[in-house]
Structure formats: C-alpha cells, structure tokens
Amino acid sequence: MGGAILNMVTVAIGSLLGMLIGHRLSQKIQESVVTGLGLVTLFVGISNAGQTGNPIIPLVSIVTGVIIGELLDLQGRLERLGGWLEGRLARGDGVVQPGGQDARTRFITGFVTASLVFCIGPLTFAGSIQDGMGLAVGFQQIAIKSALDFFASMAFAASFGVGVAFSTLTILVVQGGLSLLGSAIGDFMSAAMMNEMTAVGGLMLIGLSLILLNVKQPRMANFLPGLVIAPLIVAVGGALGINLYPL
C-alpha cells in the first residue's frame, strides 16, 4: 500500500499546484497542454499495446470486456460518482468556465479522465502487484509513476480543476486493491499474463488519447473488464494446454 499512498500524495500536490497556476494560463495554452498530454498518452498506449504476444488475446479481451462494461454501465457509474463528489465536496454552482463547460461537467470530466489515465498502464498493474508482494522493484516502479503523475496532474488540474484531485480516491481503490491482490496471488501472475494485461491497458490508453485530442468520446471506463479477461485467457489457455503463442 506504500506505493499507492505515495502516488496519492504526488497527485494531490500536483493537482493543487495546477489549480493555483491554471487561472493564469490562457484558454489556448490550457487546450495545447491537454493536446500534448493526449499525444504522449497515444504514444504510451501504442507502445504498451505492442507487449502482446498474440493480438487475438487483447481483441477478445477488449470486445468481451466492453460488452460486460456496457451492460454494467461502468462509465455511467463512474460519472455518477464524480457528480456525487462534486455535489458533496466541491463547488458546483453551474457557472460556465472558459471553454464552455459548467463547473459540474468540468469536475466530472477531470475526475473521470484523470482516474483512468492514472490507473491504467503497466506501472500501475505490475508495480502495484509487486509492491504488494513486498518486492523493492514494485515500489520503485510506483515511485517513477508517481513522478510522472505529478506533472500530469498539474496539467490536468490547470485545465479541468479540482475534479482531478479527487482521482486520488480512485488511485487508493485501484492501486491499493492491486497491492492487496499482489500480497495474495501475486506469485501466480506469470509474465505472459502481465504482458497481455499491459497490452489491453495500452489499447485503452489509445482510446483515452482520442478523448484528450477531441477526436472521439469513447466510454473508456466500460472497457475496464478487459483488463481482467486478458490474464484469465492466458491462465485458462495454460491450464488446458492450449498454445496461445504459435510461432
């Protein structure tokens, strides 16, 4: 859990700094910063997606996962959580912000986008699970991720405001949960399972980049079940003696 707490602290500090300087930046600068984050997210996503050893695995994982996610309406639930937090803890007075978004929409956008960006990727899963296993390398990976998230949270908060800071709650649940999972079953996670989970996460980051680049608005939270399905496919295939990685 130490890695999750460190990540929460860095995101909270980065968000605070972003909110302090955000109003001093013009709308054009804020839009360009988000575009820059979108380009970097796209690059990281493509790189991570290439970790798969068989493209069929992330294909099946993404398609099956998003069907489950749509049926469960995970995106709607996450947005409603953001709306509830905004109503309870933030000032959602309906004032239109620069860029045409009212305070509520801006809060929810910041919360959902930051939550997904900070909680999807190889450092999140591998680092958190290994941290839970008590391995030093796991905490080191989360420390690196925390440094990256610090700067990203500054940029997000400058554009989206206080909603980004509340993504620390998502970090606590996701990374803390993964650390607890690592302490319980981390020894059973093979390299192939981690690679396929990373590949699916990479595809999801590509989807997030489309949102940041204002190309399309996919409901990316509904794809989250794919992150669980990918390692399960590898585990089941291994148990049944199926060769998932033909030459």
Residue 132 lies in a domain: yes
* Orientation of helix 136-160 relative to helix 103-119, angle to 10°: 160
Examine residue 202 and state whether it is found in any structural domain, yes or no: yes
Question: Has residue 244 been placed in a domain?
Answer: no
Count how many domains the chain has: 1
- Residues 6+ away with beta carbon under 8 Å from 7: 118, 142, 145, 146, 149, 171, 175
Nearby residues of 57 by Cβ (< 8 Å), 6 or more positions away: 196, 199, 230, 233, 234, 244
Residue 245 inside a domain? The answer is no
246 occurs within a structural domain:
no
pLDDT tens per residue across all 247 residues of the chain = 788 899 999 999 999 999 898 778 777 887 887 888 888 889 888 988 998 999 999 999 999 999 999 999 988 888 888 888 777 765 544 444 444 456 778 888 888 888 888 887 667 877 788 788 776 766 877 887 888 889 889 888 988 888 899 999 989 998 898 888 888 876 677 889 888 988 998 898 898 889 889 898 888 889 989 988 999 999 999 999 999 988 6
Task: Please check whether residue 17 is in contact with residue 154, taking contact to mean a CB–CB distance below 8 angstroms.
Answer: yes
Domain that holds residue 186: 2-239
With respect to residue 223, please indicate whether it lies within any of the assigned structural domains: yes
Rounded to two decimals, what is the model's pTM?
0.76
Token readout for 24 is 């001093």
Task: Please check whether residue 17 lies inside any domain of the structure.
Answer: yes
| Sign of the four-CA dihedral 233, 238, 240, 245 | positive
